[in-house]
Structure 1
Amino acid sequence: MTTSTAMQPPYYPIIYVRGFAATMSEIDEATADPYMGFNRGSTVLRQDHQRNPVSFIFESPLLRLMKDHGYTDAFQRGDYLDAPGEVPAKSIWVFRYYERASNLLGSGERVTMEQFALDLRRFILRVRDATCGDDEVRKQSFKVNLVAHSMGGLIGRCYLQNICRHGAPDGYDGTGLELADGSASPHYVNKLFTYGTPHNGIDVLGINVPDLGPIDKFHIANFARDRMREYLKLSTKSGAVNTLDGALDPDCCFSFIGSNYKDYDAFFKLSKQVTGPASDGLVMMANAYIEGSPRSVAHRSHSGYFGLVNSESGYQNLRRFLFGSQRVTARLHVQRLDLPPGVQEKFDNNAQVRGSYYFDTVTRVRAAPNYVLHERRYEQASALLRSFNELINDQKPVYLFTGYLTEKARHAADQALVFTIDVGVRAPLFEINRKFWFNEHIEGFMYQEQITLAIRAQTIRYGLSLQDGIGNAPHKAEIAEAHGQRRIKLPIGTAEGACPGFRGALELIVDPWQ
């Protein structure tokens, strides 16, 4: 007699949801690919300062999940593995939602976001039956991890925020979907990881794309905030639409954001011309995350040779978010800003002083020379930007990034999980009474440092590269523990008396993750 066994976290089935296809030929092309892009890798990466390609083989997220974590794909003998209860939990499924809209295998008719979300519900139940069968214990523990690119993340949100909370919309068939009539139903989602999803819509030349109604043959309105508010069933009537609205804990979502607009060549290379810097070529960085969710940035484009999905950086963030054991959140507390003497004199005499500070941050893990977990740089037009008034008056910490560490990716003999954070603060060009103050300005960084962190079960050690050498962490940090979290604050900043200058603290919050 077979013994019932619950699914064991964190290795739940993974469902991949691809991104937007504009034309019918693109929909057919997507339909013709069994894995809808999750099987695509890359052979080059942008690495040097002159943007020259460097050879580096990344097999694909699909193959790496198989190699590194023992997953299997859910296709066999020309179809999905559907034998009830016989498919392992560690399986990868591709939600082929464009199939029904294609000329190749479907009706050739466009489909709404609500219908895609209903289809996702049906697909998740199919995965449940294939991995659980009639085993009630296993069904009770059944969950999936959704991994989505671009519009796929919005389909996932429509599923979570609309279908699973309100049932099938009027005019749609919810037969067999186990949806409660007008009330919440279990969504079975453990975690949601999105690559370049326009969670707050798509803007062109700073204006949100319009909803053209019946003449919108490409369904561009899927990215118009008014239409998004409708299919996401948001309770707010205006403003941003990147909130989960209580449908899922934002901590269970990860937003992976691209900053390389120059390498995005879709839409006849027009898209990157109208989005420009601070975007991945299609989605503005400011629109590419879920409110309150952990997130990181990579210098990758929306898709293509240097895309987000087919990148080592994307995969490393994905695997660590899904299977990591430690979560690290970094924030910068700016405690003091020292102005150049001439600017300080004007400020003391009640002149209007304006200035914007750019913060560079790069996060790397040990023994990983060909990727970074997070990267925001001034030279890539992706650095964090905060005004003088924001930093002085609001006194809010600057959120830098969230990353995840895993023992499975450790290559060194010791037990520490080691990573580094590069922090750079650029000297601003100040304005005095709305006129630029060039007198004391020299372009460049007023502060740059690489901090090495070594996390162990009982201790956190750190080192500053200028003082201790690169990669060394000789100093034991003072840890404040509360609610299962370990917090440290490391004083950083320019030398005492440096003008312009700053003093602050790098705060790291480390907590267990599963």
Structure 2
Amino acid sequence: MDRLPIVYVRGYAGPTAGINEQVDDPFYGFNRGATHVRVGGDGDPAFYQFEGPLLRLMTDEGYQLLVRGDQHRYLRGVEDASVPPASLWVYRFYDQAATTFAAPPHESLPERLLGRLRRRVSAEGFDIESAAAGLYDLIELIRRKTGAPRVFLVAHSMGGLVVRCMMQKVCFHPDADGRPRSSAKELVARFFTYGTPHGGIDLRLDAMDWAQQVFGPAGSDIFAPEKMYGYLEPKAHFGDRPPRSADFDPQRLPEQAFDTDDVFCLVGTNPKDYGLSRVPVGPKSDGLVRIERAYVRGAHRAYVYRSHSGTYGEVNSEEGYQNLRRFLFGRWQVALALAGLPGSVPDEPVWQADTRLTIRGLPIVMTEQSAAHWCPVQLSDEIRRRDGDADVAVPVAGTFLLHRDRLRHAFSLRVFTLNEDDGRIHLTDHLEQVPAWADTLIVDIRPGGAGGEGAGLEAWVAWNSMVAGSPESFDPITDGLPAEARTPAAWRRENGKHVADIALPPTARALAVLGPNATLRVEVRDRRASAG
């Protein structure tokens, strides 16, 4: 895949005092690594050394970091098309709001004390639309100096909203000289977000929600869902509220602005390792952003047990980096869905599924949805949402794979029931942590297979319960099956994708929520062919 310039856009720094602290970091946190991970059933801390995404992109993908004292000034001073496209750039939009790059003013003691107080409650000099316009200008400068057709955008938290303001509003307005701007589709190839509040930040206390919208301390009113309308709609002004007829949804990225297939949202599910904000935000979050508000509708997603930032944060994590790297450079897109499900299910019991996807050779889980992390797949709700259409599959996981001779990934699925009575779990027949069914599908993919409709791709799949021994002992995995079951998976071509329906084991198909026709549908798309 192309090595395009990567531009990093950091998150919210708080009031001026916080901004002054953050601008001391030459790379706005994209260089930050970690030494702690949580392991085991109790999430105990353990040592694991992660170098940080900036360094890993340099060592893994051959990117260059060009600074020369000031990245922006360096770009302005070099010849057009003279900079390597595989380069890393940090958008330092907060610098203009910092007070540390100028001599301190002469102030009396009362003025000094008042200034300190103001710097702790306000963020003078920062405006999200100005930051979005500056990002547009930086991207155009990078494109001109590198000769790259487009860039990759990587954003943490509020940085994702700066990007979306550029995509959805700035790109639709002329520049200061009255010239029309390019569209986001012309500027950006892919857009990755860590913990961005795409649906705003929703607090459990109504009074705090009201204070955020009305007073917006330190510019935090940009996170109020209704106020997002002002900087995400081209014809609106900041502070405008959506009219009742607008049907505004902040998590919707309009098709005319950008293709959601080129967006990936990393969703954190660990609230306990974040700061005090986890109390008003609640447990179904990364400590700051609620799980259901951390993605763009229709975009690719991964759920990782990481907090919004800090020691166990999303940006400075192996989980975040591996999802980032594979989304930007992975040739193969893999999507997993449950197909052939019944058209309806009774109101009781409630069916849920825990899912986990791993890739061979990686020390982390790529994505995990579970009740323990507040985000199981709600099977009953998904089936009802299809309005009786049994042909619609229920997505359960997805990832991207780098080009290798043999690619192995494993998908674990555990199905549970909950019996509720007036909203309370009925425990009479309940067995805690005992699934109605559980198994793991192991998939080996080899590019370059010949013959048949699935030309260009071969795969071998097996449910772990059917393998006679440890999965590590067999390659391909079907070598652990009886001789008559060792054939590659049967692929068909649909809309440019390789598709295979893998029958669930009989014990799974006996469950009412899955049914006798249930399969796990595996779809693989060659992104290089799609781009060509």
Aligned equivalent of 1:511: 525
Shift of 1:33: 0.7
Whether the 8 Å contact between 1:13 and 1:93 is mirrored in structure 2 is: yes
Q: Which moved more, 1:156-165 or 1:379-388?
A: 379-388
1:418 is matched with which residue? 408
Does the Cα contact within 8 Å between 2:418 and 2:425 map onto a contact in 1?
Answer: no
Q: 1:187 to 1:500 in 2, by over 3 A?
A: closer
Who is 2:323 aligned against? 317
Asked if the contact 1:424–1:445 (Cα under 8 Å) also holds between the matched residues in 2, the reply is yes
The one of 274, 293, 299 equivalent to 1:293 is 299
Q: TM-score when scaled to structure 1?
A: 0.84
- The one of 488, 491, 494 equivalent to 1:479 is 491
1:464–1:162: structure 2 CA closer, same or farther, 3 Å change rule? same
Tell me the amino acid that sits aligned with residue 283 of structure 1.
V
Q: For 1:358, what is the secondary structure of its paired residue?
A: strand
Query: What's the counterpart of residue 35 of structure 1?
Result: 27
TM-score (norm 2): 0.81
- Specify whether residues 125 and 375 from structure 1 end up closer, same or farther in structure 2 by C-alpha distance, changes over 3 A only: same
TM-superposition CA deviations, 1:146-189 (whole Å, max 9, x none): 00000101110110110112335xxxxx24xx8418x9587511
Pick one of 256, 260, 284 that aligns with 2:266. Answer: 256
**Could you tell me how far apart the structure 2 residues matched to 1:485 and 1:55 are?**
41
5+ residue gaps, structure 1: 1-8, 133-140, 169-173, 340-346, 348-352
Q: Does 1:96 align with 2:77?
A: no
Does the 8 Å contact 1:149/1:195 carry over to 2?
yes
Unaligned runs of 5+ in 2: 105-122, 236-244, 450-457, 479-485
Q: Give the 3 Å change call, closer, same or farther, for CA 434–263 of structure 1 in structure 2.
A: closer
- Aligned equivalent of 1:378: 371
Is the aligned partner of 1:454 residue 2:444? yes
Q: Distance in 1 between matches of 2:293 and 2:150?
A: 28
Between stretches 453-462 and 283-292, larger displacement belongs to: 453-462
| Partner-residue secondary structure (3-state), 1:278 | coil
For residue 453 of structure 1, what is the amino acid of its counterpart? Answer: V
What is the match of residue 159 of structure 1? Answer: 166
Q: 1:102 to 1:179 in 2, by over 3 A?
A: farther
Distance 2:379 2:509 in 1: 22
Q: 1:114 aligns with which of 101, 119, 129?
A: 129
Contact 2:353–2:416 under 8 Å retained in 1? yes
User: Is the 8 Å Cα contact of residues 336 and 392 (structure 1) preserved in structure 2?
Assistant: no
Asked if 1:359 is matched to 2:353, the reply is yes
1:243 is aligned to 2:233:
no
1:117 partner amino acid: A
Alignment of 1:41-56 (within 5 A): 41-56=33-48
Aligned identity (percent) is 31
Match of 1:4 in 2: none
Please tell me whether the aligned partners of residues 16 and 146 of structure 1 are also in contact (alpha carbons under 8 angstroms): yes
Between the aligned partners of 1:46 and 1:377, the Cα distance in structure 2 is 16
Inter-CA distance 109–54: structure 2 relative to 1 (3 Å threshold): same
Answering whether residue 138 of structure 2 is matched by residue 123 of structure 1, we say: yes
Aligned position for 1:3:
none
1:59-458 equivalences in 2 (<5 Å): 59-80=51-72, 81-82=74-75, 83-84=78-79, 85-105=81-101, 109-132=124-147, 142-167=149-174, 174-175=176-177, 179-180=179-180, 187-205=186-204, 209-210=209-210, 215-233=215-233, 237-246=246-255, 247-265=257-275, 269=276, 271-333=277-339, 335-336=341-342, 353-368=347-362, 370-387=363-380, 390=384, 394=388, 395=390, 396-407=392-403, 410=404, 415-431=405-421, 438-443=427-432, 444-457=434-447, 458=449
Indicate the SS of the match to 2:378. strand
Deviations, residues 78-102 of structure 1 (Å, cap 9, x unaligned): 5443212322101000000111111
| Corresponding residue SS for 1:387 | helix
What is the CA-CA distance between 1:440 and the residue it aligns to? Answer: 3.7
Q: Which has the higher strand share?
A: 1
The whole-number CA distance in structure 1 between the counterparts of 2:411 and 2:5 is 33
Match of residue 15 from structure 2: 23
Contact 1:326 1:406 in 2 (8 A): yes
Deviations 1:291-332 (A, max 9, x none): 111111100011011111001111111111111110001112
Partner deviation per Cα, 1:55-90 (whole Å, 9 max, x = no partner)? 111100000000001101121245443212322101
| Aligned-residue CA RMSD (Å) | 2.8
**Paired residues of 1:162 and 1:231 also in contact (CA < 8 A):** yes
Residues 90-99 or 436-445, more deviating: 436-445
Paired with 2:508 and 2:189, the residues of 1 have a C-alpha distance of 48
Instruction: Give the secondary structure class of the aligned counterpart of 1:456.
Output: strand
In structure 2, relative to structure 1, the CA distance for the partners of 1:50 and 1:456 (3 Å cut) is: same
| 1:37/1:420 CA distance change after superposition, 3 Å | same
